[in-house]
Chain A
Amino acid sequence: LRLIHTTTAAQRKNVGASGPEKYTEAFIKKQIEEFNLGKRHLANMMGEDPETFTQEDIDRAIAYLFPSGLFDKQARPMMKHPTEIFPEQRKIQWGEDGRPFHFLFYTGKQSYYSLMHETYEKLLSAQKYQDQLIAQDLPLQKERRNLAGSRWLTKIELEEMLLEKLSDDDYSRFIQLLQKLVALPCSDIEEKYIQKFSKEVPVQMQKVLIEPLQHDERGVAFSTGEGRRKTASATAIVYDNGTGKMTVNGIDILHYFPVLQDREQLLFPFQFLDRIGKHDTVCTVSGGGRSAQAGAIRLACAKALRSFVTEKEVEFMRQAGLLTVDPRVKERKKPGQEGARRKFTWKKR
């Protein structure tokens, strides 16, 4: 017997081989019913109204009832609608007599070719419309679509949509066809069709709010910043009109950081902005080791200096890596190994 259900290409595992319970339609329906029942039970448990229990409420309830410290969000317990959990699958594509439903079944990539056909039809109709307009001497509508804020679907997204594997070549041909379609001036009628295949590019990086300068009693402008590195966390207050002195936890940096490397780290934000002798800094730091504390203070100072500096220079700082939190932390030790990476000494016998 052949496998009845073929799985989608985008999913990593061959779901068909994953267990006796195959994803028949009846199975999925049952899962949906169970999910809804479970949702109502959960709402009753949490004391909320079952009718107005949304997915967000479900997530919150599950996180409360089954707290997990795992880093990977996908690995934590979750309760979602079965359509999100079980991957979409193609239904059987031939009838009882063995005859396939779609006329392009024997090409192998039926949905892809049917899509290409459709798109080409739209292209032809747009050209015909354009010819009509030229024949009637009407002005061609020239409304440029804003291509800057949108992008085409990626290959993986297209595969998900079509539920079958594509090759790179196929994908590029499809995108070329779409671009040709868009290039025609009369593509408004096909606007809706094209929108199915384009996505909005999200607005550029979240605008980080730069706090304005504050002034203390003496009238000196100052600003604060916080930074973390490994296990150390630091806060820095940078004052204007200073002489370049820095104090950490009440101790001068020369005594707190006897090592030159740490002091160079502290110097870097100021040196980058050419403001070495102009600011006084008072920092507090705790946790971590000497290098981590130096890195934390550096980040805190850089963040505090953003308020003193133009936006362009903030962008320079960001590109220089002064404003990025260093994600490196100590890697976990695994069982069966001596350390995070080091294995036990290999003995031949």
Chain B
Amino acid sequence: MLRSVKGLACRSLKLEHGYGLPPAARGCLSSLSSQDASAPEKPRAVFHTSESDPAKHTERHEGRHYGIPLEEVKAVFPHGLPYRFQQQIQTFNEARVMVRRPALELFAYLRSSNLAQPAVRYVIYGERGTGKTMTLCHVIHYCSRQGWLVLHIPDAHLWVKNCRELLQSSYNKGRLDQPLQASAWLKNFKSSNEHFLREIKTQKKYTWGKRESTEEGRPLGEVVDQGLARVRSASDAVGVVLRELKQQSHRGSFRLLVAVDGVNALWGRTTLRKEDKSPVSPEELTLVYNLRKMMRNDWTGGAVVTTLSQTGSLFKPSSAYLPQELLGKEGFDALDPFVPILVPNYSPREFESCYGYYLERKWLQHEKARTEDGKAELQFLSGSNPRQLDRLAGPL
């Protein structure tokens, strides 16, 4: 028994060697010495942390995975997690997100931000597959735990391409509506922020058509239901929701987090065409127009966290990842005073953590993958890129 414990201690120390995590190692050892009965669980402690509250994550937890209970996943992220991650959740029956430095940075900024000031805009950028969307989800989880109202647009690119139906907007003749996307988004928004929708009241009367209208002072949930029931006016409902939230956030009753993934879609080009085959520019879409208004920093009481994404972007080369390139001049000027946050590839420690997680969940079945050489090979072939590592580890 003692021998096995010592062996485990040596192994965990070896894994952490050179990347000097003395408190973690000491903590690990102490936990080892205290509970020597459940030996097989101990290596888990190196890669995982039991802190499931993002608010308490610090540099000590950097590189480790923390778990989100599955009900919370469904509540907080009805849409917005990357597809592969959703598949992974289904396979492993648990949702584990790695704590990384960009996320910790954002938490520090958010904690120290003064909510009386206009909203600060953060742009998460990085190369393909480095974990920008996951960082965004981490931030959303943190904010939802803190009690913020999260306005999460999973992928703005979905709104500017592959749209089957385009209706002419009844509110403004020059614009185009997208009923399908708007209703889908409203549904998800409702499921994630139920209790807020009951509390916030409208401040104006809105008419939806000849017979329907929403009075002043009604809870926002009604607006959302209206949008869901009458699909034709869904985009207008979205616009109304955004406007109300923006106007009321400065009161301080709630804090608003606007999280947009793929924000470069708002200022790029679209692949949609009008009936006379002329291309549609993003301003002509109601959803995009309203969202752009949200992006301006003329409101207080919250923050705007966005991600650039090259993967879904249109007409942009695949090697572009800097804000300047992806946003274009227009977007860059619109977002101008923003805080850029770079998400790099895995550091050696993060790589080891991810590798250890896969090993532990028995995701890597190949015998050679368990050796040191296999690990070095995986690191070389994936270039420490999270997406590449995920794809590589799949068939193994």
Contact = CB atoms under 8 A, between A and B. Distances in A.
B109 interface: no
B388 interface: yes
Contacts of B383: 252-254, 263
A254 B385 contact: yes
Given A255-B319, A260-B392, A267 B377 contact: yes
Contacts of A255: 319
A267 B379 contact: no
B2 to A, nearest CB: 33
B68 to A, nearest CB: 29
A244 B382 CA distance: 12
Interface stretch (A39-47, A48-56, A185-193, A268-276): A268-276
Given A254-B388, A255-B319, A264 B373 contact: no
Contacts of A149: none
Contacts of A252: 383
* B: interface residue count bin: 10 to 19
A276 B374 CA distance: 10
Interface string B312-353: 000000010000000000000000000000000000000000
A260 B379 CA distance: 13
Contacts of A263: 380-381, 383
A252 B344 CA distance: 14
A327 B110 CA distance: 61
Q: What is the predominant secondary structure among interface residues of chain B facing chain A?
A: helix
Given A254-B383, A267-B381, A276 B376 contact: yes
B377 A271 contact: yes
Nearest to A266: B380
Interface string B361-390: 000000000000100110111110100100
Given A254-B385, A254-B388, A276-B373, A267 B380 contact: yes
B319 A244 contact: no
Interface in A82-141: none
A258 to B, nearest CB: 9
A124 B350 CA distance: 84
A244 B380 contact: yes
Max count, chain A CB within 10 A of own CB: residue among B380, B382, B388: B380
Contacts of B388: 254
Nearest to B319: A255
A176 B258 CA distance: 94
Contacts of A270: 380
Nearest to A258: B318
A77 interface: no
* A: interface residue count bin: 10 to 19
A267 B373 CA distance: 12
A110 to B, nearest CB: 67
B381 A260 contact: yes
B311 to A, nearest CB: 13
Contacts of A244: 376, 379-380
B55 to A, nearest CB: 34
Nearest to A255: B319
Max count, chain A CB within 10 A of own CB: residue among B381, B385, B388, B392: B381
Interface string B179-221: 0000000000000000000000000000000000000000000
Contacts of A16: none
B72 to A, nearest CB: 34
B377 A276 contact: yes
Contacts of B373: 271, 274, 276
Interface string A48-76: 00000000000000000000000000000
Nearest to B384: A254
A253 B383 CA distance: 8
B142 to A, nearest CB: 30
Contacts of A267: 377, 380-381
Contacts of B392: 260
A277 B352 CA distance: 14
A117 to B, nearest CB: 66
A264 B319 contact: no
A137 B382 CA distance: 80
Interface string A238-265: 0000001000000011110000100110
A253 B319 CA distance: 13
A253 B376 CA distance: 16
A11 B380 CA distance: 57
Max count, chain B CB within 10 A of own CB: residue among A253, A264, A274, A276: A276
B381 A277 contact: no
A274 B375 CA distance: 12
B381 A264 contact: yes
A119 to B, nearest CB: 60
A274 B376 CA distance: 9
Contacts of A274: 373
A33 B213 CA distance: 118
A274 B374 CA distance: 11
A276 B380 contact: yes
A244 B319 CA distance: 22
Nearest to B383: A254
A263 B382 CA distance: 9
Contacts of B381: 260, 263-264, 267
Nearest to B127: A255
B327 to A, nearest CB: 21
B353 to A, nearest CB: 17
Contacts of A276: 373, 376-377, 379-380
Contacts of A260: 381, 392
Nearest to A277: B376
Contacts of B376: 244, 271, 276-277
A277 B379 contact: yes
A262 to B, nearest CB: 10
B342 to A, nearest CB: 15
A244 B379 CA distance: 9
B345 to A, nearest CB: 8
A276 B381 CA distance: 10
A257 B383 CA distance: 11
A292 B381 CA distance: 18
Nearest to A254: B383
Interface string A276-289: 11000000000000
6 contacts: A244-B380, A263-B383, A274-B373, A276-B379, A277-B379, A277-B380
The 4 closest A-B pairs by CB, nearest first: A254-B383, A276-B376, A263-B381, A267-B380
Given A271-B376, A271-B377, A276-B376, 13 more contacts: A244-B379, A244-B380, A253-B383, A254-B383, A255-B319, A260-B392, A263-B380, A263-B383, A264-B381, A271-B373, A276-B373, A277-B376, A277-B379
